[in-house]
A = this chain, B = another copy of it.
Amino acid sequence: MAEEKVLTDKQIRTARYAKAMGHPVRMYVLDLLSNQSCCYSGDLSDELPIAKSTLSQHLKELKDAGLIQGEIEAPRVKYCINKENWQEAQHLFREFLKI
C-alpha cells in the first residue's frame, strides 16, 4: 500500500528552495546572479561584510539546494544561476503564491 502522504513533494521542494533563500546574504547572491549572467566569488567577497569562509559556506548551501552552480576558472571560481532549477523554483513559487 502506498503511504498516506501528508506533505506533498511540491511542498517539500518549495520549502527546500525557500530555506536556501532564507538568509540575506544568500538573497543578495541570488539577486545578483538572476540579474546578470555570472559573477566571481571575489566580487561578492569584496562587497559583503563577511569572512570569505562564511561566504563560501553560503555559496555551498545555494549549490546544495541546486540554485547556483560554480565553475572553476583558475584561480577563480565563476558562479552562475542553475537555470533549470531556478526555473523550477519560479514555477513552484508562482503556484504557491498564485502570482
Pick the residue among B28, B34, B97 that contacts A11 (CB under 8 A). Answer: B28
With contacts A7-B24, A18-B19, A22-B18 taken as known, whether A99 is within 8 angstroms of B99 at the C-beta atoms is: yes
Q: Is A76 an interface residue (CB 8 A)?
A: no
Which chain B positions have C-beta within 8 A of A20? 22
Bound complex: CA A99 to CA B14 (Å): 16
Bound complex: CA A31 to CA B25 (Å): 26
Interface of A is mostly: helix
Bound complex: CA A6 to CA B11 (Å): 32
B34 to A14, Cβ gap below 8 A?
no
Bound complex: CA A93 to CA B91 (Å): 12
Bound complex: CA A90 to CA B93 (Å): 9
A12 to B31, Cβ gap below 8 A?
no
